[in-house]
Structure 1
């Protein structure tokens, strides 16, 4: 008869889990031993438990399948929590397993004892301590079902004595533990939506991550309505950058074409997006929002019609009702603005304008243009997000991921490791700032240890660039804490047993990027970029420009 640890490993293998990320510890000994003996699931040791949670979240975001992370009693489990918010905020199914205090010592302020169910209550849709082996089969099923059903985190705390106890039976109903299916919209809602679209003189279509897998349907809808397709950052990957209807992003991670189209369209159709930056959404209420989650509809912008349903079946139903439009005036204006914006991006990315400095736009464009056509592109949070996102020319076959809704700095390396383990042959590139990489620097050693060929591009501006920018935008001089000294990241990579490259000269940037991406195994490109460079913004008004100017004067006076 298997013990509880063996039952859990067998269950994870049956539902398709391939890796468990974590750090070993005495409370987990029965579980890690069961993994080793079983052989179907691979234990991936990391250097910090937050890195384990990030790797699991990275896998779950990309696949929609359950991913698993692990930490031992007390601090080991506690360290998982920050990384688990990636799964919670980006709606990805992750199971977190923590070791518990032996039953005989619970409630006595034992070594490393805490209250894990209280700790995990905010980040997890389900949290449970397995206090007896008899609970295990039903609780294992419930935890995985909750992770899939809520598209979020489930947590199990299991003491070592329970792990080692004999399991009373098998986990029931394994066939039910799978991702949620698509949701068909109500016919009445489709009919109302079609009528509203028919009445509108101009329509813009705003596409989020919920549109993944519906690229062909989006093309057909845009062609039928002669409407521009705008996208969130999470939706950017859905189509290639040069698709004629794929006009661009909205807001700071976007451009003027997309931002203006959202505001100027008589009717906005929001598909699979819960876009949080409300200042860039219209206030007029002429909005149709389609989402699988009823709770997300209408909470960002006022809407005329909310349609509960998945994007693909909803578009297919609409196409049966919508006639072909011939007026292309609104689309033409959006395409013209997009062409002007693209010319500006090209000019700023030209290494020739850099002189003796490397501009971050040139780094982002050089990496983008030399990346594999099916690469996984991971971006950390901060000013680096603006460079990597706005100067990326995606192919439509690449995947783009990062800390989208949690927007946490330092998450990229862990996410990249998880992504690379899904397919060791697929190129994974991480764009990260100097501050972000040093937050969990040890996770680069995770890549080295497990021979994960992640390519890490470090944008070194010697500071917290986005915080600096935000302070200047408020008219304040940058605080001393926004800058810091750095290590030599290329030398660090070599010290870890990987390869390191340094980019200092704009004239040799492209050749350095090419060599960096071509080497086998993990590698770091240390790009020393101009810290004074300001990201492109869709609209900067006179007041904002004045505040930037005042801040610069104050900084000069301070020096």
Structure 2
């Protein structure tokens, strides 16, 4: 039976397991959205802003490794997708973006909303193609999806409405190839070289990134065999449970002093499945073995002694063969003691009772973590809220964590959370977001309400751009104009949208309010009015930085006394 190009695309996506498509309807997409309706296997989830559609698709792809799909119509509709698609590009997640285009007969005439979508998507997409004839469609659809999976990134198709409605010449070829990339085994010689370097090192530290996902058992065995502590990147935080004694913690601002010191002090660092960008925290004397599937990642953040191209799990299985058991646990024990002290400090700062009248953001993050379901997904927006949620969440069970890891974009969390929640409405999805980030795409809360996505949104209200404020003070500067702003009552906003809203302004309210909030059916907002003066723990801060913070505070006080509105 013949199919239109729209029907062929829908049928192909359904065959490879796509179950939702996010977007905003428009006349250029009419044949496609009608084909979705008639097919019945894929849900169309209409959003309130196309960026929210791209973020939802990216969130699904990040969490599952499976293809996420989003749509925008001509001109502005497609343009709005681009910002959200950088989430997939930067975090190496497979997403197909479909944009409508002006009718073929009108191309090149400066028609209403006409632009050049192929050029527009060229930076964000590994593949960007205009389908100019129905005869192209089967091969181009196959290439787009294959590239999204193969490059672990964005593929873009722009299709005019007349092409969508035209008859396709046949099916999409090689559908069986349209799946996630398999693991890659490294060369045996490289593993032998790594084993020899490990034998020569007195102490070893292991730094784990997203590429270690699925290799928790191998990491535990390697840690035990080498008496080596395991540190993790922000994205790798949920690979193992917080209370695993081997899992020491993160590095840098999203992490702690024990991890920073362990990477610095070890004779040899194993850098596994991570392209960690903050080189200041990595050894600079070449005492690193790096294992990664991506050859381009090897050695670009710090000088390395050995680069191994391959997936972490098969590499560790090969490495563990004939790797001697170490008896000396002095280094591991020292790092563990440091970790215990650091955790005690985090616990103290998370105690709601440490202040009689102020809600501390650490207490909010810790209580949400402790009361969350064992299989909850935490989505964290970007900004100062990242530091609270990442450092005070104690992940356990099969909990997952997602966010804007490498794009580090504010305002992305609501869209990502919607996409993840749409995968399974019975699974608890909790969004940590600042007041600035939540208001950026506030309309996407209505997407959650409309589609009955029971996302739980914790809004940390410090009445400003907290991280910007912090960065300026770290440079010895007073807060800039625009660093502070007024906010609505977010709980009242939630109720006005038809959802539930909760407010916390006193530490005594925290525990019960969080319990009630998490138990609420449907989407809900917890408006937490947190202390804006709270400063995150910074494991690498020195006397010079402390002095700059002090100078900035003095300048702010003087400007306030002078009536300067920027203070």
TM class by shorter-chain length? over 0.9
2:402 counterpart of 1:379 = no
Find the counterpart in structure 1 of residue 154 from structure 2. 153
1:355 Cα deviation after fit: 1.5
CA contact (8 A) 1:83 1:411 kept: yes
Find the counterpart in structure 2 of residue 470 from structure 1. 471
Find the counterpart in structure 2 of residue 336 from structure 1. 337
Matches of 2:265 and 2:374, distance apart in 1? 34
Query: Secondary structure of 1:482's partner?
Result: coil
CA contact (8 A) 1:51 1:440 kept: yes
Query: Secondary structure of 1:410's partner?
Result: coil
Query: Secondary structure of 1:79's partner?
Result: helix
Matches of 2:453 and 2:171, distance apart in 1? 35
Find the counterpart in structure 2 of residue 122 from structure 1. 123
Q: How does 1:489-528 map to 2 (within 5 A)?
A: 489-528=490-529
Q: Deviations over 1:60-101 (max 9, x none)?
A: 000101110000000000000000000000000000000011
Q: Deviations over 1:448-507 (max 9, x none)?
A: 000010000000000000000000000000012100000000000000000000011101
1:396 Cα deviation after fit: 4.4
Find the counterpart in structure 2 of residue 487 from structure 1. 488
2:38 counterpart of 1:33 = no
Find the counterpart in structure 1 of residue 274 from structure 2. 273
Matches of 1:60 and 1:539, distance apart in 2? 34
Give the number of aligned pairs: 559
Q: Deviations over 1:417-467 (max 9, x none)?
A: 000011110000000000000000000000000001000000000000000
1:321 Cα deviation after fit: 2.5
Mind listing any 5+ residue stretches in structure 1 that lack a counterpart?
none
Find the counterpart in structure 2 of residue 357 from structure 1. 358
CA contact (8 A) 1:237 1:396 kept: no
Matches of 2:336 and 2:538, distance apart in 1? 18
Find the counterpart in structure 1 of residue 430 from structure 2. 429
Q: Deviations over 1:498-522 (max 9, x none)?
A: 0000011101200000000001100
Query: Secondary structure of 1:172's partner?
Result: coil
Matches of 2:488 and 2:135, distance apart in 1? 52
Q: Deviations over 1:160-211 (max 9, x none)?
A: 0000001110000000100000000100000000000010000000000000
Find the counterpart in structure 2 of residue 444 from structure 1. 445
CA contact (8 A) 1:458 1:526 kept: yes
* Shift >3 Å, 4+ stretches: none
Q: How does 1:116-515 map to 2 (within 5 A)?
A: 116-515=117-516
Q: How does 1:35-74 map to 2 (within 5 A)?
A: 35-74=36-75
Matches of 1:287 and 1:397, distance apart in 2? 31
Mind listing any 5+ residue stretches in structure 2 that lack a counterpart?
561-567
Query: Secondary structure of 1:244's partner?
Result: coil
Query: Secondary structure of 2:44's partner?
Result: strand
Q: Deviations over 1:368-394 (max 9, x none)?
A: 000111100000000000000000000
TM-score, length-scaled by structure 2: 0.98
Query: Secondary structure of 1:274's partner?
Result: coil
Matches of 1:286 and 1:322, distance apart in 2? 19
Q: Deviations over 1:290-340 (max 9, x none)?
A: 000111110001100000000000000010021000100110110011000
Find the counterpart in structure 2 of residue 535 from structure 1. 536
Matches of 1:314 and 1:218, distance apart in 2? 11
Matches of 1:313 and 1:169, distance apart in 2? 39
Q: Deviations over 1:203-231 (max 9, x none)?
A: 00000000011100000000000000000
Matches of 2:472 and 2:509, distance apart in 1? 33
CA contact (8 A) 1:458 1:527 kept: yes
CA contact (8 A) 1:241 1:396 kept: no
Matches of 2:443 and 2:469, distance apart in 1? 26
Query: Secondary structure of 1:407's partner?
Result: coil
Q: Deviations over 1:256-307 (max 9, x none)?
A: 0011101111100000000011111110110000000111110001100000
TM-score, length-scaled by structure 1: 1.00
Matches of 1:279 and 1:99, distance apart in 2? 45
Matches of 1:259 and 1:174, distance apart in 2? 46
Matches of 2:509 and 2:414, distance apart in 1? 26
Matches of 1:522 and 1:167, distance apart in 2? 41
Find the counterpart in structure 1 of residue 563 from structure 2. none
